Structure 1
Amino acid sequence: MKKTFKISIRELVEFVYKEGSIDVRFQARSSMTIGTKLHQKLQKEYKEGDEKEVFLKGERAVEDIVYQLEGRCDGIHYENGEVIVEEIKSTARTIAQIEEGARVHWAQGECYAYLLAKERQLKGIGVQLTYIEVESEKTKSFTRTYTMEELQHIVDETLVAYTPFASLILSNQENRIKSIPDLVFPYPTYRKGQKNLAGAVYKTVTESKSLYANAPTGTGKTISTLFPTIKAMEKGLSKWFYVTAKTITRTVAEEALALLEREGLSHRAITITAKDKICFQEETICQKEYCEFANGYYDRINGALIDILTQETILTRPIVETYARKHRVCPFEFSIDLSYIVDGVICDYNYIFDPKVSLKRMSDEGKKKTTLLIDEAHNLVGRGREMYSATLRKSDFLEIKRKYPEYVDLKQSVAEVNKQFLRLEKEQGEDVRNKLDAELVDEVQSFVEIAEKYLGEAEEDWSEDFLQLYFDALHFVRISNLFSDEHRFVIDQTPKGVEVKLFCIDPSKLIKQITRSFRSSVFFSATLHPFSYYFQQLGGCEEDYRFLIPSPFEKEQWQVGIHPISTRFKDRERTLSSITRSITEAFNENKGNYLVFFSSYAYMREAFEEMIKEGMNAEFIIQEPNMKEADREKFLNEYQSDRDRPVIGFAVLGGIFSEGIDLKGDRLKGVIVVGVGLPQPSRDHEIIKDYFNERGLNGFDHAYVYPGLNKVFQSGGRLIRSEEDTGVLRLIDDRYLSPKYQSLLLEEWKDYRIIHEKRPLV
């Protein structure tokens, strides 16, 4: 029985014919100068009767595979009874350097010509390959004519070369489909609420809906979302993405897949590691002259793909690195290429949500068969604001003008941008505006176009500052196209001069815009609390499913105490000794390893220095800013259950040790949270506050209280990680006893005792 394999013409020919090296020296990114704009420019010149953007499809059998081929050709010309298919390519090279066109481009045109000739029963047909130079917009065309037999031979030759890869994909797919019906949950029993969560995820995915789930620590969220999502692959789902903000949660997802594999799952998944972390070189310079793994990448990548997909299933960072070294290919680009082929992808939020780096090759049809699993979804609110905001500084433009005075049009463009900055500085009125400043955006757009022209000149050694400004300006233009009622145009005076920011206050609509294009999405976290706030901020709407489950742990596992001491900034000096006494008291009452969280590095260090004077029988360690992975591991490795001297670690709320870490059993005896986590007052937080006040909501809660408490909940959640864990949670701040904070406390924390300070004897 023959198998069917659907593939786009572009994907087919790029796999078979693409060759050479990775070279990201510089590629113009502005939509004003590449791609669609240049194609449309040529297509507007078509004579009457010619066609553009024509969708073609057809079948061709090779061996035991029936290939379903499809694609959209750029144009069809009709000249003197002849039919000519046109393929248009934009290029950063000068067209004088192009002598006959690349084989991969000819192959694309030839395959389109084959489909058209077969559909219209033509005996002969032409192919025109047209290159358009990005900088000058000059064109150069090459034309060849073919018989139907010649085209059929070319297509067959191409498919024969692709077939080993297609056979591997089909075999893996068949094994996956066979393994899913008998796949069972990899634990003997479900934890409290876990089966309900898995059922809710399965229902969501099979019905192509969205789900927002608050599932407390200990629910087993990773396996409870991955297992039903993979089971739903029986119902037409072809792919999933597990997206998260933390490296540690990616490891948990890999471990969950390994459990399912032991239960019989046949399945392939890749973990994408950031380029700067996985790069084999000292400096990340993706050019063949600097990197052996970039040099000849496309000549070797097909062998690497077939090898790893034949031998491996869970493609973790070490496995990707092993095969990348074996085949001498760039490990980052290797993982990106794999991400389009495998069943599941574990990656950071930005590969889905960030307009700067999202995976661009994913087709709309592919998205409709793909589910997003969004872990620690509370983090996506802040990350969304960052991704959909953009900032430009006047000083950065003036620096480029100073560095490159000889480039007249670049200098002139910078001067025009500077003129807009000066105008904004002089204008009286609001520094926070509801409307975009169109004049500034126009000049920044012009700068992007001129910068692209110069950055494309390989012989010039352009500075990192210039390249960074280009990317900042390009991002500014992109965000200007997304600017809406949920944004503000902000003008700020800084010590370095004026800067402007397109500030995204509420990312909900933009997040929803992304998730709507996928089959389904599941947002889950232990701390979507208060639920109504996160449901709105993450794009939830009336037809979406909501799911809240209680903690699977018993209240008796927590020993919660609230110590009502003021941690407000004005009181900190006065109350610091009371706070350190409270920490000492908690430790002395329940000896063991502790994590103590503070709202800032400065506050934490003050308390740390006070505590080390106490002469306690404990080891003190402290979180440093910008800790490297090795230092983080060293910090966590101090938490061992068999220590002679327990460890007391000082860390920052919302930092690297406040979520995504598991210190089970006696590795962690207590967590102490000093303060309520309120962010420092800032222009951005005040804008958020005003925005929600204007909409009849409590702006202070939205800007300060809810984000602050989320950090508290995450930090406290480090304490109880399994049914066997018990421990001490101490919340130090008098606000925890106020009606507002009482109403927002997690249910499992409400059975608390109030701690009264023991006055030292005089």
Structure 2
Amino acid sequence: MADMRNHEVLIRKIIQNYFPYTNIRDGQERIMSAVMDSVSQRRPLLINAETGVGKTVAVLTPLYYLAEREGYRILYTTRTLSQSTQALLEFERISKKCKGNLKAVSLQGRLGLCPMIFLDKRFEGGVKYDEFREICEKLRESTRNDKFRRLDEYSFISEKYGSLDDLKIAKRAVYTTCPFYFGYLTKRSSMINSFLTKRVLYPDIVFEKCLSSTICPYEVLKDASKEATMIVLPYIYIFNPRVRQAFIRGILDLYEKDLEDFVLVVDEAHNLPDYLRDLLSSKISTVTIKRAQNELKNVIIGHKDLQKYAQLEILLENNVYYLSLSYVLKSLENALIDSLEESPQEDSVEISLNSFLRSFFYHLTKDSFFEYNRGTLSDDNLMYDVITYIAYTLSEIGNIIREHLLKMGIRPRSYIGRIGDFLVESLTLERDPATHFFLEKHNNIISLRMNNFNIQILSEILKNFHTSIHMSGTLKPFDSYAINLGIENAIELDVPADFIKRNRIVFYYPKVTTKYENFIRNSEEIIEGLKRSLMSILSNLNANTIVLFPSYEWMTRILDEEFLTFLDKNLYGKYFIENKDTPVRQIQKNLAAFRSLKDVGAVFFGVFGGRISEGVDFPHEELRSLVIVGLPYPKPDAPQKALYNYYKARYGEENAWHLAFEVPMIRKVLQAIGRLVRDEKDYGIAIILDSRAK
């Protein structure tokens, strides 16, 4: 009892001395108390708190206190830049309230902070991170060694480009050194000292300041991170093993065992499982192979010092056999085509890697060096030996090509290397029961995709931290999140916002559904019922409304010619449709127009997973009504069925359905409905056209 009273007294003291706002909202004190428990007991904390509760400041306030008293450091991970800004703002407000001296910095990716993106030709049209890293390292190395060129290029850039506006109109060239890295090497002390007096370093402000002084902003933020109490950074810095290793060793100068002195905060944590699945997914396609064939012709055959790589040497039973790279790529392409012809006529189908490799090996040997002994085709060991050798050889050729392109001042992209890397990774993970392979066809492009569903491979790092705090407005059901990430013995905290209950009403209409079984039996009746229901609703609304469909296919079925005629007649053109091929700029224009019509009311049609369903705010009159046309269960395609089977084998049939189908649907609906009410003065209604919503 005494311990409980002491705990309550401490929380009140923290609120009095550290909490930066005059009024504390319902639930914020509970969050602060749970954070203290999580740190003292070293138990993960799962927080479900809707928008408007103020969970960011409620989490950071006790963490700031603990950082001052106990020396903990904070790694605050986010999915988007806007989330990182909010964390920095709250940290700064807490610092001002308690007159503290702790520092915070937002360490965004090097790619997003690089001024050379606007200047070097190799970055034109976008660049992948690995390609950017290779160019950046080459420029840094040259800057350290080439004294003449670095002075020449530095003088040119420092005189000509001192602002972001200057960069945007800059004429691109191929640079041999990095003027901004040279500026950092020569002026970093004065720049770092000027920033050390600030409590919080915002990346946009650091970028502008460094740009005007011709200094690399990333290097400045990297130096500041070494001493910062809180570092705000993207998920990839923690959950990608290669990037994490570079961050911990190269920036923090620590080892993974030292992470026990850090508290990890995962913001918008409902995104994390899908993010980790994406990290464990890769693919090759007929487009990849076509580009590799062009690379062979233009880069390898086109350059004398690379021509030897146009032919592969394979050593078998003390004999050397030669196989042209062109033949290997053509055999791989034929294997993709053959595999599709043997599969059902579906957009996606699961296949075994072994069956694909057999097809690949058949085409390799059909007219080539195994002609002397067709019996060897049945020897899986021989097949795997040959393809493994080819995979590693292609990967190494890719590295050689990238280095060659770098020396030529060309973007270091290799599709031959990408194919090799995919095959190496596939062969390595094939025996893992969580690894599945899918053949996909879209717009006449055939792809082979590899997914590994065991995201605990990547989330295992959570156990290295002193504790981890996971928060979101849609983190429930807690059990599914914890199971996916392998989190055990967690503290679970659900903090509803009372004003949301008062200001938001949710209806459901029980006479219609998008349930697949019902649709198969009577599709025309289902479509007609949904159309009439939606027409009736829109006829009686005079406020800004968003209508979300489970997919583009459902939207196309319902928004037919009759429905569009109804819209023209009743809404007088005040409606917008986000189609699958609508350009981003057009969507942005439509959103601006939609917002401008808030006083008279307009309708925006979109889909779950589309650009308007997440990540766009519509405060107050900009959105008053939301109509959900059918619950957005995941499409039961081959990858989703494979995920279900993975869960079934690991957690049982009942849990499998819950994890694979129900939880994604629930989170999508809650995310959408959560857009209606963002603060105490906001209000809105949601209508769900699906009997299953009951």
- The reply to whether residue 447 of structure 1 matches residue 281 of structure 2 is no
> Matched residues in 2 for 1:359 and 1:243: separation?
16
Shift of 1:493: 6.5
Shift of 1:503: 1.3
State whether residues 678 and 708 of structure 1, in contact with CA within 8 Å, keep that contact through their aligned partners in structure 2. Answer: yes
> Matched residues in 1 for 2:397 and 2:638: separation?
33
> Matched residues in 1 for 2:535 and 2:634: separation?
26
State whether residues 241 and 372 of structure 1, in contact with CA within 8 Å, keep that contact through their aligned partners in structure 2. Answer: yes
- The reply to whether residue 388 of structure 1 matches residue 280 of structure 2 is yes
State whether residues 248 and 660 of structure 1, in contact with CA within 8 Å, keep that contact through their aligned partners in structure 2. Answer: no
- The reply to whether residue 709 of structure 1 matches residue 660 of structure 2 is no
TM-score for the superposition, normalised by structure 1: 0.64
Q: Which amino acid aligns with 1:407?
A: Q
Which protein is richer in helix relative to its size? Answer: 2
Moved more, 447-456 or 599-608: 599-608
1:545 counterpart (491, 495, 498): 491
Matched ranges for 1:316-715 at <5 A: 316-355=202-241, 357-358=243-244, 360-362=246-248, 363-364=254-255, 366-393=258-285, 396=289, 397-403=292-298, 404-405=300-301, 407-409=307-309, 411-412=311-312, 414=325, 431-432=351-352, 439=385, 440-441=387-388, 443-457=390-404, 461=408, 466-470=413-417, 473-474=420-421, 477=424, 485=432, 487-490=434-437, 492=439, 494=441, 500-507=448-455, 509-541=456-488, 543-553=489-499, 555-564=501-510, 565-567=512-514, 570=519, 575-576=526-527, 578-587=529-538, 589=540, 591-604=542-555, 610-611=563-564, 612-616=567-571, 619-623=574-578, 637-638=592-593, 643-695=598-650, 696-698=652-654, 699-715=656-672
Q: 1:685 to 1:643 in 2, by over 3 A?
A: closer
2:20 counterpart (150, 168, 186): 186
State whether residues 104 and 230 of structure 2, in contact with CA within 8 Å, keep that contact through their aligned partners in structure 1. Answer: yes
Q: 1:371 to 1:732 in 2, by over 3 A?
A: same
What SS class does the counterpart of residue 553 from structure 1 fall into? helix
Shift of 1:643: 4.0
Shift of 1:488: 1.8
State whether residues 403 and 412 of structure 2, in contact with CA within 8 Å, keep that contact through their aligned partners in structure 1. Answer: no
State whether residues 674 and 733 of structure 1, in contact with CA within 8 Å, keep that contact through their aligned partners in structure 2. Answer: yes
Moved more, 340-349 or 705-714: 340-349
> Matched residues in 1 for 2:583 and 2:285: separation?
29
Q: 1:376 to 1:459 in 2, by over 3 A?
A: closer
- 2:691 matched to which residue of 1? 734
> Matched residues in 2 for 1:657 and 1:234: separation?
41
- 2:372 matched to which residue of 1? none
> Matched residues in 1 for 2:355 and 2:36: separation?
43
What SS class does the counterpart of residue 570 from structure 2 fall into? coil
State whether residues 271 and 347 of structure 1, in contact with CA within 8 Å, keep that contact through their aligned partners in structure 2. Answer: yes
Shift of 1:338: 3.8
Shift of 1:524: 1.6
Cα deviation digits, residues 619-664 of structure 1 (max 9, x gap): 3234466888876765555565994322322233134433444433
1:268 counterpart (87, 100, 103): 103
> Matched residues in 2 for 1:489 and 1:606: separation?
32
Q: 1:659 to 1:425 in 2, by over 3 A?
A: closer
Indicate the structure whose relative CO is greater, using CA pairs within 8 Å and at least 6 residues apart: 2
> Matched residues in 2 for 1:701 and 1:577: separation?
30
Q: 1:244 to 1:576 in 2, by over 3 A?
A: farther
Provide the alpha-carbon RMSD of the alignment.
Answer: 4.0
> Matched residues in 2 for 1:635 and 1:239: separation?
43
Q: 1:306 to 1:675 in 2, by over 3 A?
A: same
Cα deviation digits, residues 182-224 of structure 1 (max 9, x gap): 7422233433322112211222134433222222333322222
Q: 1:718 to 1:467 in 2, by over 3 A?
A: same
> Matched residues in 2 for 1:462 and 1:665: separation?
51
State whether residues 513 and 690 of structure 2, in contact with CA within 8 Å, keep that contact through their aligned partners in structure 1. Answer: yes
> Matched residues in 2 for 1:334 and 1:469: separation?
36
What SS class does the counterpart of residue 247 from structure 2 fall into? coil
- 2:162 matched to which residue of 1? none
Cα deviation digits, residues 100-124 of structure 1 (max 9, x gap): xxxxxxxxxxxxxxxxxxxxxxxxx
- The reply to whether residue 719 of structure 1 matches residue 676 of structure 2 is yes
Shift of 1:713: 1.2
What SS class does the counterpart of residue 516 from structure 1 fall into? helix
- The reply to whether residue 209 of structure 1 matches residue 156 of structure 2 is no
- 1:226 matched to which residue of 2? 60
> Matched residues in 1 for 2:433 and 2:498: separation?
38
TM-score for the superposition, normalised by structure 2: 0.69
> Matched residues in 1 for 2:354 and 2:481: separation?
24
Shift of 1:718: 0.6
What SS class does the counterpart of residue 690 from structure 1 fall into? helix
State whether residues 630 and 690 of structure 2, in contact with CA within 8 Å, keep that contact through their aligned partners in structure 1. Answer: yes
What SS class does the counterpart of residue 571 from structure 2 fall into? coil
State whether residues 44 and 468 of structure 2, in contact with CA within 8 Å, keep that contact through their aligned partners in structure 1. Answer: yes
> Matched residues in 2 for 1:602 and 1:686: separation?
20
Cα deviation digits, residues 337-356 of structure 1 (max 9, x gap): 44444222223211211245
Shift of 1:323: 1.8
Shift of 1:726: 2.4
Shift of 1:687: 0.9
> Matched residues in 1 for 2:232 and 2:572: separation?
43
Moved more, 414-423 or 612-621: 414-423
Q: Which amino acid aligns with 1:345?
A: I
Which protein is richer in strand relative to its size? Answer: 1
What SS class does the counterpart of residue 653 from structure 2 fall into? coil
- The reply to whether residue 257 of structure 1 matches residue 91 of structure 2 is yes
Shift of 1:376: 1.5
> Matched residues in 1 for 2:284 and 2:593: separation?
43
Aligned length: 557
> Matched residues in 2 for 1:630 and 1:219: separation?
33
Q: Name stretches of at least 5 consecutive residues in structure 2 with no aligned partner.
A: 1-12, 124-134, 144-173, 249-253, 314-324, 344-349, 358-383
- 1:197 matched to which residue of 2? 31
Moved more, 517-526 or 234-243: 234-243
Identity of aligned residues (%): 22
State whether residues 593 and 670 of structure 1, in contact with CA within 8 Å, keep that contact through their aligned partners in structure 2. Answer: yes
State whether residues 596 and 673 of structure 1, in contact with CA within 8 Å, keep that contact through their aligned partners in structure 2. Answer: yes
Shift of 1:418: 7.3
- The reply to whether residue 302 of structure 1 matches residue 188 of structure 2 is yes
> Matched residues in 2 for 1:272 and 1:192: separation?
32
Shift of 1:688: 0.7
Q: Which amino acid aligns with 2:76?
A: Y
Q: Which amino acid aligns with 1:616?
A: L
